[in-house]
A and B are shown apart, each in its own frame.
Chain A
């Protein structure tokens, strides 16, 4: 594992070994505060520029910091943080997930991809800071058991998700579109009018959806799609 040694910068006769931390969080107040507190603890902390994902990854590759504090919901140009964990780990940094998310799957994914562990933002700030400092100095945060348990849980969740989504994969493109239109509250007649097809065609597609999902009504089909996560509400 890459350690503090990496960031030893030799400047002439004096050797300054200040560990470097990169904070990848779009919540500025917390990021700034952590940076200020770390600076007071003799740790260099930078706030990541979140305007461009590729640039961010590139800058970490060029000069990997010792530790990356990674938020998982970054929004905007960055998107899902959990996939960044692997890239940062590959670049040679250690990654600690610091987030307010309750999505255990996302956290477990990050851990599976090599993150040291997860730290909830709701933890008292002292605990938060101490954990970050431990991570900076290369201490282990998570036992092998806990990690294995998390990963196996993740695998279980994935399998479950896969089996729930399996019926939806059997839908044809058109049936998928019909289901989406139904979820928007459109009637068969309206769908037929919008797509310039006969009502009978749409009705048979609806029947196809119901049969493949094994449900009795359009409402049930929509609810089923929502619950399985096949349909998400996009605004």
Chain B
């Protein structure tokens, strides 16, 4: 893009310099040859330049309209229309005015006045940033109608005078005055463009062209007042402006096309990525459905078994099955929680979590000794509760009858919760694979949510779970960051990825 802009700037300067040289040379040649060469010759040259300019303007207008078609940019559309009007109407009308002699020349001059007025209005619209208010719009409409009415009135007077064969002596400088007025109008719009150029470079680039058009009108006016080489100079300058305008229009179109192409490619890339993402989400959903189905099948099986073999199962088995079913219900709940709720970490009281979980386990017959604490940690209380409950259930199974001690300790930047039992402990071999997925002893009848999942849950909130002693009873340590103090919540990054490996899902599948 920068490149295109540089090219345009350089090309624009070159063209402007060439144009100036041509104009100066043309004017100088016309002035020196004024006496020698017939004025019809300069007129012919001026007409050629006009035709060239008209063709170039029409071309530039078409290019601008193409750009408008491509990028749907209102400015391009308006500028295109203005260029087409200049090339197709005002220049031919100027030629007509030159070809006819007074007083008929007033009529094309009037028509030209109108078309230039419309062109300038379009340009002002293109340059103005906002939509006009209702009041301004009516005022402008009124002004336009006034001008139109005046022009028609003058034409009517002239026509009427001719019909009555009474010569209405319009002063000789009338056409020249019209030209000068037009020139002033062009210059005014040029000034407006220059001012707008401070905000939009596009308008800044337009300003010199508009001012040059003003100069052309001035030259034309001088030519009408005192016939000379001015007309030729004006026509040459117009041709230069037209060339410059079409060149700029071409470069703009090229740039728009390449930008459009890049944008299309970017869209295509984004669509392809979204296709991939959709496929990923579909896979995750399938996994979720599969896990939910598994969980339901397990629950149904447990309930039917409890009913079908009622009285034939020993109490320990019944209790085991009940605990497992309760655990499954917990997973199902966890699985169906809205993702947003699962991801949010906050400050919470560790003591409250311990009390809730321990209360439930005590009801299930576990002897738990809790050291009171007022520690506050930063994390997800629900996940800490799951991990803690899991440890307590494990202790109940592997160290039956043993008292379990739960104690929270505040370290400089972490809160640690020790869960110790006085059971047989774990062998080195066991402790190595303890946290791996699928690891469980032959006699294990866990609640279904393994230590592997506990570790995942703890690590997902910047904490951890470790086994400290393995010979004389097992001591597990749950750790979490200390509370940050302020009421802040942290949302886990990259939700989808987290969702995909959501511990709850795996827990449920176990």
Q: Is A1 an interface residue (CB 8 A)?
A: no
Residues B312-335 near A (CB distance < 8 A): 312-313, 317, 320-321, 324-325, 327-328
Given the interface contacts A27-B510, A235-B280, does A100 sit within 8 Å of B269 by beta carbon? no
Instruction: With CB as the reference atom, state the residue of chain A lying closest to B442.
Output: A49
Q: Is A11 an interface residue (CB 8 A)?
A: no
Residues A17-43 near B (CB distance < 8 A): 26-30, 32-34, 36-37, 40
In the complex, the answer to whether B301 meets A51 with C-beta atoms within 8 Å is no
In the complex, the answer to whether A218 meets B321 with C-beta atoms within 8 Å is no
Q: Is B5 an interface residue (CB 8 A)?
A: no
In the complex, the answer to whether B497 meets A75 with C-beta atoms within 8 Å is no
B298 touches which of A27, A46, A76 (Cβ 8 Å): A27
Q: Which one, A81-89, A152-160, A166-174, A219-227, is touching chain B?
A: A219-227
Instruction: With CB as the reference atom, state the residue of chain A lying closest to B293.
Output: A100
- Cβ contacts under 8 Å, A235 to chain B: 280, 497, 500-501
Q: Is A196 an interface residue (CB 8 A)?
A: no
In the complex, the answer to whether B439 meets A37 with C-beta atoms within 8 Å is no
In the complex, the answer to whether A183 meets B272 with C-beta atoms within 8 Å is yes
Q: Is A14 an interface residue (CB 8 A)?
A: no
Q: CA separation between A115 and B390, bound complex, in Å?
A: 36
Residues B391-445 near A (CB distance < 8 A): 433, 436-440, 442, 445
The smallest C-beta distance from A129 to any residue of chain B, in angstroms, reads: 8
Q: Is B191 an interface residue (CB 8 A)?
A: no
Binary flags per residue of B257-269, CB closer than 8 Å to A gives 1, else 0 = 0000000011011
Instruction: With CB as the reference atom, state the residue of chain B lying closest to A75.
Output: B509
Q: Is A217 an interface residue (CB 8 A)?
A: yes
Q: Is B374 an interface residue (CB 8 A)?
A: no
In the complex, the answer to whether B298 meets A33 with C-beta atoms within 8 Å is yes
Q: Is B143 an interface residue (CB 8 A)?
A: no
Given the interface contacts A29-B328, A185-B276, does A73 sit within 8 Å of B290 by beta carbon? yes
- Cβ contacts under 8 Å, A75 to chain B: 437-438, 506, 509
Q: CA separation between A174 and B266, bound complex, in Å?
A: 22
- Cβ contacts under 8 Å, B308 to chain A: 37, 40, 126
Q: Is A144 an interface residue (CB 8 A)?
A: no
B509 touches which of A27, A37, A40, A122 (Cβ 8 Å): A27
The smallest C-beta distance from B454 to any residue of chain A, in angstroms, reads: 15
In the complex, the answer to whether B276 meets A33 with C-beta atoms within 8 Å is no
State which size class the interface on B falls in: 35 or more
- Cβ contacts under 8 Å, B317 to chain A: 36
Given the interface contacts A33-B321, A75-B506, does A187 sit within 8 Å of B265 by beta carbon? yes
Q: Is A182 an interface residue (CB 8 A)?
A: yes
In the complex, the answer to whether B438 meets A26 with C-beta atoms within 8 Å is yes
Given the interface contacts A100-B294, A219-B275, does A51 sit within 8 Å of B436 by beta carbon? yes
Q: CA separation between A188 and B264, bound complex, in Å?
A: 12
Q: Is B155 an interface residue (CB 8 A)?
A: no
- Cβ contacts under 8 Å, A188 to chain B: 265
A219 touches which of B268, B300, B309, B440 (Cβ 8 Å): B268
B305 touches which of A36, A77, A219 (Cβ 8 Å): A36
Q: CA separation between A2 and B440, bound complex, in Å?
A: 30
Q: Is B270 an interface residue (CB 8 A)?
A: yes
The smallest C-beta distance from A193 to any residue of chain B, in angstroms, reads: 14
- Cβ contacts under 8 Å, B448 to chain A: 27-29
Q: Is B168 an interface residue (CB 8 A)?
A: no
In the complex, the answer to whether B437 meets A219 with C-beta atoms within 8 Å is no
Q: Is B302 an interface residue (CB 8 A)?
A: yes
Given the interface contacts A29-B328, A51-B433, A51-B436, does A121 sit within 8 Å of B294 by beta carbon? yes
In the complex, the answer to whether A33 meets B501 with C-beta atoms within 8 Å is no
Size of interface on A: residues with Cβ below 8 Å to B: 46
B301 touches which of A37, A183, A186, A233 (Cβ 8 Å): A37
- Cβ contacts under 8 Å, B312 to chain A: 40
Instruction: With CB as the reference atom, state the residue of chain A lying closest to B287.
Output: A73
- Which of A184, A217, A222: most chain B CB closer than 10 A? A222
Q: CA separation between A28 and B295, bound complex, in Å?
A: 9
Binary flags per residue of A125-169, CB closer than 8 Å to B gives 1, else 0 = 110100000000000000000000000000000000000000000
The smallest C-beta distance from B326 to any residue of chain A, in angstroms, reads: 10
In the complex, the answer to whether A30 meets B294 with C-beta atoms within 8 Å is yes
- Cβ contacts under 8 Å, A192 to chain B: none
A226 touches which of B275, B302, B436 (Cβ 8 Å): B275
The smallest C-beta distance from A41 to any residue of chain B, in angstroms, reads: 9
A29 touches which of B266, B298, B304, B500 (Cβ 8 Å): B298
Residues A77-117 near B (CB distance < 8 A): 77-78, 100-101
- Cβ contacts under 8 Å, B298 to chain A: 27-30, 33
Q: Is B70 an interface residue (CB 8 A)?
A: no
Q: Is A50 an interface residue (CB 8 A)?
A: yes
The smallest C-beta distance from A21 to any residue of chain B, in angstroms, reads: 15
The smallest C-beta distance from A161 to any residue of chain B, in angstroms, reads: 17
Q: CA separation between A33 and B295, bound complex, in Å?
A: 12
Instruction: With CB as the reference atom, state the residue of chain B lying closest to A49.
Output: B442
Q: Is B279 an interface residue (CB 8 A)?
A: yes
Q: CA separation between A93 and B321, bound complex, in Å?
A: 28
In the complex, the answer to whether B299 meets A29 with C-beta atoms within 8 Å is yes
Q: CA separation between A184 and B510, bound complex, in Å?
A: 32
Q: CA separation between A128 and B301, bound complex, in Å?
A: 9
In the complex, the answer to whether B304 meets A101 with C-beta atoms within 8 Å is no
- Cβ contacts under 8 Å, B300 to chain A: 124-125
- Cβ contacts under 8 Å, B273 to chain A: 183-185
In the complex, the answer to whether B509 meets A26 with C-beta atoms within 8 Å is yes
A185 touches which of B272, B279, B497 (Cβ 8 Å): B272
The smallest C-beta distance from B192 to any residue of chain A, in angstroms, reads: 40
- Cβ contacts under 8 Å, A182 to chain B: 269, 272
Residues B464-510 near A (CB distance < 8 A): 497, 500-501, 506, 508-510
The smallest C-beta distance from B424 to any residue of chain A, in angstroms, reads: 19
In the complex, the answer to whether B294 meets A27 with C-beta atoms within 8 Å is yes
Given the interface contacts A51-B433, A75-B506, A217-B268, does A29 sit within 8 Å of B324 by beta carbon? yes
Q: Which 9 A-B pairs have the closest CB atoms?
A: A185-B273, A29-B298, A121-B297, A233-B280, A125-B304, A30-B298, A50-B438, A76-B437, A33-B301
**Residue ranges of B at the interface with A (Cβ–Cβ < 8 Å):** 265-266, 268-276, 279-280, 283, 290, 293-305, 308-309, 312-313, 317, 320-321, 324-325, 327-328, 433, 436-440, 442, 445-446, 448, 497, 500-501, 506, 508-510
Can you list 8 residue pairs at the A/B interface with Cβ under 8 Å? A26-B509, A28-B298, A49-B440, A100-B293, A121-B293, A125-B303, A185-B274, A226-B279
